[in-house]
Structure 1
Amino acid sequence: MSRTVSRITLQDVAREAGVSLATADRVLNGRSGVRGVTAERVKDAVARLGYRPNLAAARLARGETYRFCFVLPAGSNVFMRMLGEQVTNTARWLAVNNGYIDTLRVDVFAPETLASALEGLIGHYDGVAVVALDHPRVRAAIDDLIAAGVAVVTLVSDVPSSQRLHYVGIDNIAAGRTAGTLLGRFAAGRSGSVGLIVGTPALRDHAERQFGFTQVMAGEYPALRVLPAHESFDEEERTQLIATEMLRDVPDLVGIYNVGAGNRGIAAAISAANRASDLVFIGHDLTDDTRRFLLRGVMDAVINQDPGHQSRSAARVLLSHCAGEPLLNEQERIRIDIFVRDNLP
């Protein structure tokens, strides 16, 4: 009679191989002290029975638990609020796998504040996921965590020169290039100026998107002149003021690309100027607001990253590293999604 794969236990493997449970456990965990021929019998039994170890149960049996901290930006950024909600959901899943998540909100635009917060985590957590500012103080704080034995992954925005374990996020240069291609295509051969709004170039994801965007615009759409970037710090009122001044002061304004948050402010400025029908507006992250702007024709396209995937991926990477378990790299690749009015989920 065939067995269901989910019911196969290590005891079944030991019985099939004709060895003790302790010997089977030694082979499965790569420990020494088992003769080669015996180890081969155990491996053959594993293959025949289709045994898959319950890693969470194994951790529980060994009394292993892990505590992680997710350091997220303070403020009203809608995407970061969505990311925080997904971290809460991820925490429920992780608890079943003997891991626990705390969330810390920090002003990530202030390097000293962020670095101090990271330094304060040493000795309290096994792993940290952080939306990071690419700054020497922050880089040093990440390296200090690593030196203290704390696993660190950067989330959404990277600090590649640090010793962080892994970056969980999209390819932001590619995202910026995608925005450039979309804006250039939507402009449909027109010439004129293009407004560029960034939260801050000190955030690596914003800097990389800006680079990718200007690279495509300069190389492929020379008739469109990208204006000097305006820094919004992802503040909605500031973003609205910047867009309002652009619309008022730049008569040949063809489009606006918003690298970060604050899309609601830009949409309000475009609507107030009655420019929704002729101005190309490209932004990031599918939220309730950007969905509505797409449907109303105020935005033309949204470049999206899945906050749920990012949250779960960060937790999986930290858990796998701390537990010494394999990681499926393909599963952790965060893809770029493009949404227009006609393909909204």
Structure 2
Amino acid sequence: MEQLHINTSSKQYSVWIGDDIRYKVSEYIPTPLQQKVSSVLIITDDQVAPLYLQDVKNGLSNRFEVFEYIVPAGEQSKSFQQYYDIQTYALEQGLDRHSLVIALGGGVIGDLAGFVAATYMRGVPFIQVPTTLLAHDSSVGGKVGINHPLGKNMIGAFHQPEAVVYDPTVFKSLPLHEWRSGFAEAIKHSLIWDAQLYSWLQDHIDDFSNIKGELAEQLLLRSIAVKAAVVSEDEKENGIRAILNFGHTLGHAIEKELGYGKMTHGEAVAVGMIFAMRLSEQYYDISLPIDEVKAWLTKLGYETDIPVELDPNQLVHTMKKDKKAQKGVIRMVLMKELGRVEVVSVDEEPIKELLLKSIKGE
């Protein structure tokens, strides 16, 4: 069992990491909150529900009245309609300001359920119970929200959880593409902040089948620690927290232009990180270990090239709508050296030229 403390300006809470702790979620609800909880709403999806919903319910139902809401799995559920339908269900069931929301699932569920919690009756507490490796990034830090047809995560709030209860044994049910999606965010944390973590990941993980037990706990602990350090300095992304978007400016554009679900978030971010490193070499006139990172990603089954069917002009157009953009100027996280990045404004022409070269395989 591992415990990591998250300290932000608005809240302090713990991330609990340990095998089989999904069976006893009630033990990790902070004591002051336990005494106030009137009911619990578990929000999950139709892939996670058959696997883990009953496990979590069994650990809660002897203490609280428990409701459940199941949405279709996938990015399409981060929609206004699903958000509205859950709010309606909560009102119909009589949930009140002392109800607790539990997000049981991956990043989509965490974002959606967290936004429901942030806005239901102007805000109720929630707990993250992640079931994917990808959610190690999204479950910490309080960013919650839904998508809009014109952009990803454009509607949302900052709403910190009361706790994160992480059971790595659920990873055994992950398909390979979900392993890749989640591990890309761990790689990102090492590239932007912790060169020692980068070396540790390379030394210990050259295939996903051995990520279990102590290794899984250490992977989660060390990667989440990077997120925790950044968030503690800048909870609401007024400054340094924006570096967590390394690879995301292009990654989000790829997701949108391909159509959500065609490529997982982490796989798109992996492509975005390689592109950001290439652009960094041009911008700073430096040399970075791109070939080394690409070879490692390729060995783990990632595609590192921009899909050939995408249009550079349209990608740039979408990147200009990124949340970091200012008055239509693209702002990207670029790498100065391994473990050190910064957010800079970049002219669109060099981006467009490099996109074209990358798509052509040059």
TM-score, scaled relative to structure 1: 0.35
Structure number with larger C-alpha Rg: 1
TM-score, structure 2 normalization: 0.34
